[in-house]
Amino acid sequence: MPSYLVTVRNVFRLDDRGRRMDLKFLQRMTVPSDSKIVMLILDGLGGLEREPGGMTELETARTPKLDALASRSALGFTLPVGQGITAGSGPGHLGIFGYDPIEYEIGRGALEALGVDFDLHPKDVAARGNFCTVDQNGILTDRRAGRLDSAESRKLIELLRQIKLQDADFFVEVIKEHRFSFVLRGDGLGASVSETDPLKTGVLPLKATALSADSILTAALVNEFIAQAGKLLAEKSPANMILLRGFDRYPTVPSFKEVYKLNAAAIAINGMYKGVSRLVGMQVLDVDGVTVDDEISLLEKRWQDFDFFYIHVKETDTAGEDGDFDRKVRVIEHVDSLIPRIMALNPDVVLVGGDHSSPAVLKFHSWHPVPVLLYGRYVRADGIREFGERACLRGSLGTLPAKEVMPLVLANAKRLAKYGA
């Protein structure tokens, strides 16, 4: 095993008192540096073969620039949470940012609210909402209402604002397309509420239920809100109902600046990813546009202002969840064409990976390890001349917990001190 892996992996191994090393330890180890880091996250990057014995989306894609970068990098896989666990985007990102997603369990609702820069109060309860489609019997036929465009969502949000609730105020804000943020504010509200999204079609939406005694009022308010929403949206097909999930309060986590001594910027278009970035203390930059090209243009423009850049690409995940293998391939190929613009900035360390896998054949997130590539002047390159799942199986990084990625990034950016005498 390469020596730099032995040194940094020990940061997270058990010490002689049986305790797992945490962010406080890593905070003691980090040192300032003028090195520059780029973390390029293709959401849902990992895939599966379309046919047994075939190639995954990443392997099918023509990626000459990523392949060339792979030849100078260390390859492997990340596990967002653990073996066999299918991760949501929230825990997937927390892991890749170096936070234990089990210790820092955060509902998507809070992240989405932060993503739209909502002034979330400590006692508020937030949820992520979807406009969806149900048939005449109330059976769910499309969890995303055909990926309704944002302009139409704004009109429907105005309808939802007509709802009247007793015992609490509520707020609804458009995120993007079919997605919206829902926040309850009032006394006596708990956040332990079950989700109404069954995560599949062909069934009735679920009723919200209280998972603790302090959340009984919250569940009742949620069900009343959904009932009124159903009446208002009844004639608005395809968006004739709503789903709510990821209930949570405003969470508190150590910041990137505090732990890693990094002046970090986030370049993302979708709300949830802005939210998780704000949560960990990154400055979220406003993208002038909606494409990956626009994100890279912003990276170029602000290159001198930060020493860590997180760039998020959503379209890989969207194509995977839509079951569109070929579109996911095309997205990866387009990202590949932008790699020279990133490398022209001469970053000291580049990580290319994902927050979880979203194979098109499953049309959903999956438990499969996620391909990862780590480039840097001090990385011991594997010399593997392609970037794909089978290539990553041969890589020196092996399969490591996502939360161990940041120590490797920091070490190769010369931002970790020596441990011990």
pLDDT at residue 4 in the model: 31
Averaged pLDDT, 134-146: 95
Which tokens sit at 379? 């990385």
385 and 71 in contact (C-beta within 8 Å)?
yes
d(CA 189, CA 42): 36
CA 101 vs CA 104, 108, 115, 181, 379: distances in Å: 5, 12, 19, 22, 26
123 and 189 in contact (C-beta within 8 Å)?
yes
SS3 106: coil
15-19, 93-97, 124-128: segment of lowest average pLDDT? 15-19
| 17: CB partners within 8 A, 6+ apart | none
pLDDT at residue 252 in the model: 87
CA 134 vs CA 240, 333, 354, 385: distances in Å: 7, 36, 32, 48
Q: Is pLDDT of 18 > 50?
A: no
At residue 21 the predicted structure's pLDDT band, cuts being 50, 70 and 90, is low
d(CA 260, CA 262): 5
Would the CA dihedral through 349, 355, 357, 360 be positive or negative? negative
- The predicted-structure confidence for 32-87, as pLDDT tens digits, reads as follows 999 999 999 999 999 999 999 999 999 999 999 999 999 999 999 999 999 999 99
Averaged pLDDT, 116-139: 94
List the beta bridge partners of residue 181. 128, 173
d(CA 120, CA 370): 32
Taking the CB of residue 103, how many other CB atoms lie within 10 A of it?
Answer: 12
Please state, for a pLDDT cut of 70, what percent of the chain lies above it: 95
- The predicted-structure confidence for 253-264, as pLDDT tens digits, reads as follows 999 999 999 999
Counting every residue, how long is the chain? 421
**Angle, in degrees to the nearest 10, between helices 292-301 and 325-343:** 10
At residue 270 the predicted structure's pLDDT band, cuts being 50, 70 and 90, is confident
Q: Is pLDDT of 244 > 60?
A: yes
Averaged pLDDT, 178-205: 95
SS3 242: strand
Averaged pLDDT, 305-318: 97
Q: Mean pLDDT across the chain, nearest whole number?
A: 93
Q: Is pLDDT of 106 > 80?
A: yes
d(CA 132, CA 96): 30
d(CA 269, CA 313): 8
E-strand ranges in 274-396 read 283-284, 308-313, 349-353, 370-376
d(CA 355, CA 371): 10
Backbone angles phi, psi at 33, to 5 degrees: -160, 160
d(CA 284, CA 267): 6
d(CA 349, CA 288): 26
d(CA 110, CA 112): 5
SS3 135: coil
d(CA 310, CA 273): 10
Q: Tell me whether residue 13 is exposed, middle or buried, using C-beta atoms within 10 angstroms of its C-beta: 0 to 12, 13 to 18, 19 or more.
A: exposed
Q: In the chain, what are the domains?
A: 3-103+253-412 (3.40.720.10), 111-248 (3.30.70)
Helices (H) and strands (E) in the chain, counts: 15, 13
CA 281 vs CA 99, 230, 253, 361: distances in Å: 13, 37, 9, 36
Amino acid at 18: G
d(CA 387, CA 59): 7
pLDDT at residue 331 in the model: 98
